[in-house]
Amino acid sequence: MTTIAIIGAGPGLGQAAARRFGLEGFSVALISRTRENVDRLAGELAAEGITARGYAADVRDPQRLRAALDAAARELGRIEVLQYSPVPAKEFMTPVLETTAEDLVGPIEQSVYGPVAAVQQVLPGMRALGRGTILLINGGSAVTPNGNVAGTSIAFAGESAYGPMLHDALAPEGIHVAQLIIPRGIGGGEPDHEPDALAERIVSLHRGRGPFRSFVGDASS
C-alpha cells in the first residue's frame, strides 16, 4: 500500500481529499501544525475504514516537515502522492504598500521553502516506486498577483515558478507535477468549489497526468 501525504490537512479540503484517496486504496498521512487537529481527522477517517495517521509539523520548519514525511513513509508506506495545500496565515495578506521585507519571511518560508523541503524528502521514494504525483493547491493570487494580499502573492509566485520546472524535469521519470488554482477560495456556494468536488478534481489530476496548471470554475482549462 502506498500513501498520500496531505500537508496542511484540515477539516475542509484536506479531509475531503484524504477520504477520496483513501477510497482509492491509499493510506493517508495528515500533516498540520496541530496534533489534536490531525489526530481527530485521522480518527474520523479510520472509523470509515481508511488507514490514516496524523503528524504534527509546521511547514515553516523544514526539519520537522522532513521528519513528519519520513515517519509517514516508514509507518504507512512509501509516499506516492504529495498534496501541498497549507492555508496562508492572515498576517501574510497585507496590502503591498504596507508590506515590509520582514513581512515576506513567513510567506516565503511556507510557499517556497516548504514545498522544496517536502518534494526533496519524498522524491527518493517516488523514484523507487517508479511513479508519483506532486500536487500544489493555490488560490488565484498564484497566477494573478493581488496587491491586497501582497505577501501571499509574492510567495505563491515562487511556488508557481518552482512547480513547472519540476513538472518538466520529473515527467521523464513518471512523476507528475500539477498545480490546481482555486479562484475565489473554497466553498462560498459554488458547487465546483466545495471540498468534495475539489477532492474529485484532485484525484483526476493524479490519474490524468495532463498539463501542469489547471483552474477550478469558469477559468477551467
The pLDDT assigned to 218 comes to 53
Comparing CA positions, the residue from 54, 58, 180 lying closest to residue 110 is: 58
* Three cell numbers written together for 216: 477550478
pLDDT, position 13: 95
| pLDDT at res. 1 | 86
Q: Give me the number of domains the chain comprises.
A: 1
pTM for the model stands at: 0.95
Q: What is the pLDDT of residue 219?
A: 43
Q: Any idea what the CATH number is for the domain that residue 89 is in? A: 3.40.50.720
DSSP 8-state assignment for residue 191:
G
Quote the CA–CA distance of 30 and 112 in Å, as a whole number. 20
Q: Which domain does 57 fall in, by range?
A: 3-219
Residue 96 pLDDT: 97
Q: Report yes or no: 110 and 88 within 8 Å, Cβ to Cβ.
A: yes
Residues of the chain with pLDDT under 50: 219-221
